[in-house]
A and B are shown apart, each in its own frame.
Chain A
């Protein structure tokens, strides 16, 4: 996981277009992409699949409310 993530207030949303052949494939790819970044708490916020692929908004929570926030302790 990138050290920069400690500066993420709560979550990252990645919005992109994935070339894929079904909505479920799009979901699976999107979640995997976030997990590959080292963020386990990943979820699809929005997905719309049409023939060419899927428009996705996939979210990875870095700091959920109540957790220990990296940005509170960070000096930056």
Chain B
């Protein structure tokens, strides 16, 4: 699994692939994260409160000089939206990965 997702100043759009786990019965929603890197002020709310510990802070700085979140765990986001709700800068959001949008990894 690629650990190094598109980092740096780009908005990191992480792509998640749906795994066929209990596919018929249990639907685990998967989220696709969008991070507006240069809007972030590095508060860490998203990193701290993500229930799946999906995020970690970058080594790099954004244009404002803050570290910003990056996806550290592939496939782990469950689209709960908590990072999006807590972010005081409107800098991170999550969209539901389309059913069958990715296929298998």
B partners with A? no
A interface, CB within 8 angstroms of B: none
B interface, CB within 8 angstroms of A: none
